[in-house]
Chains A and B, each alone.
Chain A
Amino acid sequence: MLRTVDLFKHFGGFVAIDGVDFELEEGEKHAIIGPNGAGKTTFFHLITGHLRPDRGRIEYEGRELTGLPPHRIVKAGLARSFQRVNVYPRMSVFENVQVALMARDNRHLTMFRIGARFNRDETLELLALVGLAEEAGEQAGELAYGKQKQLELAIAVAERPRVLLLDEPTAGMSPSETEEAIRLIQEIADARNLTLLFTEHDMTVVFGIADRITVLHNGGVIASGAPDAVRGDPQVRSVYLGEGGDGAA
């Protein structure tokens, strides 16, 4: 469904992504793990158009995505959430989601009709889905951190993507919030038939959700496969249990 071929990205002398060949199958819940600095977020930025690769290709359903701007990639069916909360702080929770729906329906250039009524019911439905129905009228910037993460999820899902990319969806959450977030992500992925690609530090989350895991280390793939196989992989064990491998390439 989604494929990268020999993807390469460096920042100055630091090689962040070093020739990654990667394949995402339709319907799977695929986790990308790796120590800090392994290149997980850079990999996400490349796929979603936030960064341009220095070399290599990104293909989605046989279509080349390499070098397209984010808004085109979203329209192709890939939506993402961010590691650090990334909402519209001075807008209401309702408007945060509504804007995503308006954009999905290509209404963002509709100038001569009142916009407040567009996509109302669907916005409320989505807010209910992520458990933010009560907060619809609040300013997004004033929500508690965990709730902002939920809002982030609602925004990403609003675009009705086929592939949802989540960058550390539970980062900074308490254990109970994490548990709730896992349940929510799984529920949404199942209900909407989403293919899921996510990065995560928390191994409970990874093994709780993923049916496939790819391990990045120093910008390269060192293992990829079913959770049990990856867990038993000696190289993965040495990276995680050994010296940590946080150093630059």
Chain B
Amino acid sequence: MESVRVMPRPVAAVCAVVVLALLVVPLLDSRYLIDLFTEIMIYALFALSLNVLIGYSGNVSFGHAAYFAIGGYTCAILLTTYEWGFAPAFAAAVIASALAAGLVAWFCVRLTDIYFAMLTLAFAMVVWGVAFKWRSVTGGDDGFVGVSVPAMLDSRIGFYYFTLAATGLSAAVLWLICHSAFGRCLVAVRENRIRAGFVGINTRLMRWWAFVVAGTFAGVAGAIFGMFHRGMYIESAFWTESATVLIMTLLGGIYSFFGPAIGAATLFVLERLTNEYTEYWPIVLGMILVGILLFLPDGLAGLARKLASYRSRGG
């Protein structure tokens, strides 16, 4: 153990290849692919943010869409209704998500397990309710449409590169947080909350911070999402959206940093493909979920790890 390699070489190599591939996607000159990858990157960040809470702190949230929606609506409303500039609107959206997460987390970290999860769901339903009923501001169930996007992000390719930069940077920051002393101690809290308390860790405070980090980056994803679609809709705050991102995270693997991003990409593409042939996507989704829970407890990332170790042992 002479030196500590913080990112294993194969993982770093895959990251580099993925970033390079994403950089050249617009050169393919396909509007379909550019839009597809823009949305995949947004959902990948959304899932990565949720995993700080699930994979690292060991708390399952059923209401993560709330912070995605708060980020999305705040950015969209400030840009459009109040004609704020892009930078302050985007920053305010992220701060709003962080504050909302901080407030909700203050209550939630007092609970654990299913009670924690149900409380996150309850707060998310409140957020959905506000988006639904506060028609004058949010547009209610008609959605908040016609978001004005700054000129530099108006082109499809421009927006694509903005999304790549913003999600890439966010993922890098999340990676650092998850591999910091905080991240490591957070895993200890997940593994054994009682023991972690007895080495001097304030476990409630750790879980609070994990919630805030998760909510903040969900807000980043939401803000990008609203601008990309030129609108925000209450479905983004609904519990089914929280379930979708939860399934993405599980599918990718909660015990891996990048797993949820893989899960997000996989699920998103599967949904697109399925919808071309049948309208029964929920059935397919259900079968995928059964598959993960029964056969892939560590998700696709776990499967990849198993295959890699099998290959290296097999020679």
A positions within 8 Å CB-CB of B: 48, 50, 69-71, 74-75, 79-80, 82, 86-91, 94-96, 98-100, 102-104, 107-118, 120, 124, 136-137, 155, 158-159
Which residue in chain A gives the minimum CB-CB distance to B185? A108
- CB-based contact A111/B184 at 8 Å: no
Contact B192 A87 (CB under 8 A): yes
Report yes or no: A112 in contact with B177, Cβ–Cβ below 8 A. Answer: yes
In the complex, which range does the number of interface residues on chain B fall in? Answer: 20 to 34
In the complex where A114-B6, A118-B181 touch, is A104 in contact with B192 (Cβ < 8 A)? Answer: no
Residues of A within 8 A of B201 (CB): 71, 99, 103, 108
**Interface residue B196 (Cβ < 8 Å from any Cβ of A):** yes
The reply to whether A102 and B187 contact each other, CB–CB distance below 8 Å, is no
Which among A74, A113, A114 has the greatest number of chain B C-beta atoms within 10 A?
Answer: A114
Set of chain B residues within 8 Å of A107, measured between Cβ atoms: 181-182, 185
Chain B residues within an 8 Å CB radius of A115: 179-184
> B191 CB to closest chain A CB, in angstroms?
4
Q: Chain B's nearest CB lies how many Å from the CB of A158?
A: 7
Q: Are B185 and A103 in contact (CB under 8 A)?
A: yes
Interface centre among B176, B197, B203 (most CB of A within 10 A): B197
Q: A116-B179, A159-B199 are in contact. List 13 more A-B contacts (CB 8 A).
A: A50-B194, A50-B198, A70-B198, A74-B198, A74-B199, A89-B191, A99-B185, A107-B182, A115-B180, A115-B181, A115-B182, A120-B4, A136-B1
Question: Is A116 in contact with B199, judged by CB distance below 8 angstroms?
Answer: no
Chain B CB within 10 Å — which of A71, A86, A124 has the most? Answer: A71
Interface membership of B135, Cβ < 8 A: no
Residues of A within 8 A of B206 (CB): 108-109
Q: Which residues of A lie under 8 Å from residue B181 when comparing CB positions?
A: 102, 107-108, 110, 113, 115, 118
Closest chain-A Cβ to B101's Cβ sits at a distance in Å of 15
Contacts of B176 in A (CB 8 A): 111-114
Return chain A residues, CB-CB under 8 Å to B195: 82, 86-88, 155
Task: Return chain B residues, CB-CB under 8 Å to A110.
Answer: 180-182
Quote the shortest CB–CB distance from B19 to chain A (angstroms). Answer: 20
Instruction: Find chain B residues with CB under 8 A from A75 CB.
Output: 200
Q: Which residues of B contact A100 (CB under 8 A)?
A: 199-200
Inter-chain contacts of B196 with A (CB < 8 A):
88, 99, 103
Give every chain B residue within 8 A of A87 (Cβ-Cβ). Answer: 192, 195
Interface of B with A (CB < 8 Å)? Answer: 1, 4, 6, 176-177, 179-185, 187-188, 191-192, 194-203, 205-206, 209, 213, 255
Chain B residues whose C-beta falls within 8 Å of the C-beta of A98 in the assembled complex: 184
13 contacts between A and B (CB under 8 A): A50-B198, A87-B192, A88-B191, A96-B188, A103-B196, A104-B200, A108-B185, A114-B180, A115-B180, A116-B184, A118-B181, A120-B4, A159-B200
Q: Tell me the bound Cα distance from A80 to B194 in angstroms.
A: 12
CA distance A240 to B183 in the complex (A): 49
Which residue of the partner chain, among A91, A95, A103, A112, contacts B200 with CB atoms under 8 Å? A103
Interchain residue pairs A-B with the least CB separation, the first 5: A88-B191, A115-B181, A108-B185, A74-B200, A107-B181
Could you tell me the distance between the alpha carbons of A74 and B6 in the complex, rounded to whole angstroms?
A: 30
Provided the pairs A74-B199, A116-B6, A137-B1 are in contact, do residues A91 and B194 lie with their beta carbons within 8 angstroms? no
Task: Report Cα–Cα, A71/B198, bound state, in Å.
Answer: 6
Expressed in whole angstroms, the minimum distance between the Cβ of A105 and any Cβ of chain B is: 9
Q: Which residue of B lies closest to A96 (CB)?
A: B188
Measured between beta carbons, the chain B residues less than 8 angstroms from A79 are 198-199
Q: For residue B102, give the distance in angstroms from its CB to the closest CB of chain A.
A: 15
CB pair B202–A71 under 8 Å, yes or no, is yes
By beta carbon, the residue of chain A nearest B187 is A91
Per the bound structure, the CA–CA distance linking A96 and B197 in Å amounts to 13
Closest CB of chain B to A92's CB: distance in Å?
Answer: 10
For residue A96, give the distance in angstroms from its CB to the closest CB of chain B: 8
Q: Which residues on A sit within 8 Å (CB–CB) of B213?
A: 111
